[in-house]
Amino acid sequence: MDILSTKEMTRKEMLEVLDHARSVEQGTSLSGEVLGLLFFEPSTRTKMSFTSAMKRLGGDVVDMGSVESSSVKKGETLADTVRVVEGYADALVIRHPREGSARLASEFVDAPVINAGDGAGQHPTQTLLDLYTMREEVDEDLGSLHVGVMGDLKYGRTVHSLSLALAKFDTRLSFVSPSELRLPENVRRELEGSGVEFREVEDVEGVVDDLDVLYVTRIQKERFPEEREYERIAHSYRVSSDSLEDAGDVRVMHPLPRVDEIDPDLDDTEHALYFRQAHNGVPVRMAILDMVLGGSG
Ligand code: NCD
């Protein structure tokens, strides 16, 4: 079983992971199993929480390390790297700057492949922990929520995988971004085809008082073709306790890392969910690993 995209996961499959994450316990169910970590891009949360999850289930990890210190530096192809690492590990977690790379890797190996972010494409395990957080902290019924998704909707892979997943729950969606960072055409088309109710706006003021969750993202600087284009749009939005003064009890989420789009003055308020959200990466990834490698769930 590969986990490549939320586009091909059913609502039932997602709920199975979320239910399992509720009850999964530390133990030895994955004793003797090894997870291969191949991160061709920086990572703190995803890599460390996968490692923590694997160890809490009694398994172990082997880590390619940075691109700089691996044979990728010598010009090895992704196909060759994954074929080799398949001999060292029972499942592979891959993050890569090129869209479609996890799917490509899955064509070269029999071991399960988990997409930990492919360029501006998808980040399905982040979505599962986002859904888990909404379900545990906001409302069990994801379909009853109104979720605002704000920031870099163009290059943000967490946005793409989350939107397509929430559409399957019929969650009402409001997309908030500067016009340059609107949703890409392929995601908009998918949403239109799904029949979910959504709108696109440039300012959060008009929608925030109706939201249950405001999901904020950073501008993905590394994906801009020109640094100048990034500079033009950098620092163009920021959520603070002032901006949420009249917003009721909206909960603010963020996949992290944040740059300057959430004022730290929000951290100790009831609005802030983002650190708990990051911590939920462990139980959710334990559930995923247990289902992929241990056959349970
Ligand atoms: C995200 C990513 O890598 O897409 N990070 C994460 O895994 N929590 C978000 C980001 O980098 O902005």
What CATH superfamily classification does 6-121+281-293 receive?
Aspartate/ornithine carbamoyltransferase (3.40.50.1370)
Q: Which of 20, 56, 95, 251 is catalytic?
A: 95
Q: Shortest CA distance to 292 belongs to which of 41, 30, 8?
A: 30
Asked whether this chain's domains 6-121+281-293 and 139-272 adopt the same fold, the reply is yes
Atom of ligand 1 nearest to the CA of 220: 12
Active-site residue identified among 6, 20, 46, 157 = 46
Closest atom of ligand 1 to 156 CA is: 4
Q: For residue 77, how far is its CA from the centre of ligand 1 (angstroms)?
A: 24
Identify the pLDDT of residue 244.
94
Ligand 1 atom nearest to CA at 123: 4
Q: Catalytic residue among 96, 123, 251, 271, which?
A: 123
Q: What is the pLDDT of residue 65?
A: 93
Helix (H) or strand (E) holding 227: helix 227-233
The per-residue pLDDT for 72 is 85
Question: Angle formed by the axes of helices 281-293 and 45-56, to 10°?
Answer: 60
- The model's pLDDT over 163-211, given as tens digits with 9 standing for 90+, comes to 999 999 999 999 999 999 999 999 999 999 999 999 999 999 999 999 9
The residue to mutate among 6, 94, 123, 128, having the most atoms of ligand 1 within 8 angstroms of its beta carbon, is: 123
Task: For ligand 1, atom 6, name the residue with the nearest CA.
Answer: 255
The reply to whether omega before 225 is within 30° of 0 (cis) is no
pLDDT in tens, 136-172: 999 999 999 999 999 999 999 999 999 999 999 999 9
**Helix H or strand E encompassing 166:** helix 157-168
User: How many other CB atoms are there within 10 angstroms of residue 177's CB atom?
Assistant: 26
Is the C-beta atom of 20 inside 6 A of ligand 1? no
How far apart are the CA of 217 and the centre of ligand 1, in A?
Answer: 9
Residue-wise pLDDT tens digits, 59-92:
999 999 988 888 888 889 999 999 999 999 999 9
The span from the CA of 176 to the CA of 151, in Å, is 7
**pLDDT at res. 284:** 98
Residue 124, ligand 1, Cβ within 6 A: no
Distance 137 CA to ligand 1 centre (A): 21
Task: Indicate if 46 belongs to the active site.
Answer: yes
The CATH T-level fold of domain 139-272 is: Rossmann fold (3.40.50)
Whether 297 has a pLDDT exceeding 90, the answer reads no
* 3-state SS class at 38: strand
- 116 C-alpha vs ligand 1 centroid, how far in Å? 9
pLDDT higher than threshold 90 for residue 246: no
112's CB contacts (< 8 A; 6+ apart) are 1, 2, 3, 90, 91, 92, 292, 293
Domain residue limits, the chain: 6-121+281-293, 139-272
